[in-house]
A and B are shown apart, each in its own frame.
Chain A
Amino acid sequence: MVDANLNVDDACVNAFNRLKLTKDIRFVIFKVEGESQVIVERVGDLASTYQDFVSSLPHNEPRFVVYDYEFRKDDGITSNKIVFIHWSPDNSIVKNKMIYASTKENLKRRFSGIHREVQACSVSEVEESEIVQALR
């Protein structure tokens, strides 16, 4: 696996564990800073909606996201699943596309308990229905 070998800030794993274990946040957005390390850019509180999350994604720069998606199963019971999203909009510059794509596995493998992964390269690919479909 080709790996750009960026440093991953400890805060990234801490934020993921908070989402997974403490369960007091809805999502975490990670960004690559200075072409050298992955940091936490933003944490979404429990009250935030899926739309809040989508509108905080930049339209021309990639990001990584973990989202704790809550949904009601057919039997009426609510359930939570963690989705990893590789946001890579097609109008990003090629350098950023390359850096994020060659960093994704490095970041993702530090998070245990990811249920599904979504690669989204346009706004339509990050719509809520896509997440629902991925979780099926």
Chain B
Amino acid sequence: MYGGGNYYADEVSGIVLDIGCHLTRAGYAGEDTPKVVIPSYIGMIENPDPNQMDVEGIAPFAGEKIMKYRDFMKLEQVFAEGGDKSEKLEEICREAIENELKLNPREHPFLLSEPSIHDRESRVALTEMMFEKFQIPAFYIVKSAVLSSFASGRSTSLVLDSGAYTTWAVPVHDGYVLQKSIVKFNIGGETITDVLLNHLVSLGVNIRPHYTFNKTVKCFVEGGEVQGNPEFTLEDIPRPNVDPSYQDFSIREIVRDIKETTFKVSDNTFSETSFANVPSSSYELPDGTQVQLGNERYRIPELLFSSGIEGVIGFSGVHQMVYDSITRCDMDIRRELYGNVVVTGGNSLFGGFTDRLHKKLTELTTQNMKVKLIAPQSTIERRFSSWIGGSILASLGSFQQMWMSKQEYDEHGAILIERKCP
């Protein structure tokens, strides 16, 4: 028996689920990293042709199945603006739990992370979905910034979480999120991917996704040794029925990789003159074409520390977000927050990001204010910090009494989550 004051012996492992805007992470509590990391996208085919039935069944598709090319398959983000999210949310959970982790949700308690802005309606809906659609035995939900803060060893900190589509500055004090001081902007890693994509298009670079060609390699072998350079030949595959959303998704996968391998945040404010002579970096596209990147490697990520992002009103850098958030907090705790800035999220992984953030924050604050950033060196810890925190928590024997049990759900309804997980 879970929760409700009844001690539950640690027989089965809890499952930790972190559904992000771009990636969904799922895995067993107690493990160091999530076993499953899949895109938070659902593939739909409207009116599928029954004569061309896929071996993998009919839409919706998720996980690995959306990576494969399919005529007319439309990709939708789980958290896309507008439309009904609940079906897509259920689909992505089902994919992660039943198809990827291959387990029966009725047998495992589930811990989910949620956005740091308290949203009663969403968490009640999520609770209902988990108990009704998946028949789980027990549930718990924790704000993502609290998990990141705790996993860094701090019950008080300012969590700067820069993800794919959103960047948050969230003050956590004694384990509670200070709701009124949260600063959030809809910018993130994909904003930078967008800018790079537009830049490449303006240069006339044709980015050809994997499904549009066949690549064959020919090389001459004589006496068991390869002679000369191998020859590549490309054969175009016409795809008249590709959905624009799938094309866009596939192109962005490539652009994102270009960004992750070549971009860096500069130590100082970017200017054309001081960055005129940076060595260019070359990147080989899947079709073999070489792309040369010069000072745009520094110019584009500079947007994260400036106010020049088109369409994002009021944003003037991630450092300003931290500053504004702390300024909205009580005077008494500001010193402690500046001394404990926890940096997390995949978009913070650019080389030079934390050094620049530290420099910009120090410039903004008064001279005697000590600014300290906490950013795990490992990419895994930085990308999955809230999942890791949840994994440890849900694996503790003593925590097994904290779950909201199915019995409690049946007796009190989903609204009880507000009391069980304040």
Contacts and interface: CB of A to CB of B under 8 A. Distances in A.
Interface of A: 1-7, 35-36, 62, 86, 88-90, 92, 94-102, 104-105, 119, 121, 125
Given A94-B381, A105-B175, A99 B392 contact: yes
Interface of B: 142, 146-147, 149-156, 174-176, 336, 339-340, 374, 381, 388-389, 392-393, 396-399, 401-402, 421-422
Contacts of B398: 4-7, 35-36
B422 to A, nearest CB: 7
5 contacts: A2-B421, A86-B155, A98-B151, A104-B155, A121-B154
Given A119-B154, A121-B154, A98 B399 contact: no
A105 to B, nearest CB: 6
Contact of A2 (B154, B374, B393): B393
Nearest to B149: A101
Contacts of A3: 402
B110 to A, nearest CB: 15
Nearest to B172: A101
Contacts, number: 85
B340 A119 contact: yes
Contacts of A2: 142, 146-147, 150, 175, 393, 421
B389 to A, nearest CB: 6
B142 to A, nearest CB: 5
Contacts of A7: 398
A64 to B, nearest CB: 11
Contact of B153 (A4, A35, A88): A88
Contact of A97 (B146, B152, B175, B340): B152
B396 A4 contact: yes
A4 B399 contact: yes
Given A7-B398, A88-B153, A102-B155, 7 more contacts: A1-B176, A2-B421, A5-B398, A36-B397, A99-B392, A100-B153, A121-B154
A121 B150 contact: no
Which of A1, A36, A100 has the most CB atoms of chain B within a 10 A radius of its CB?
A1
Nearest to B376: A94
Residue of B152, B381, B398 with highest tally of chain A CB at under 10 A: B398
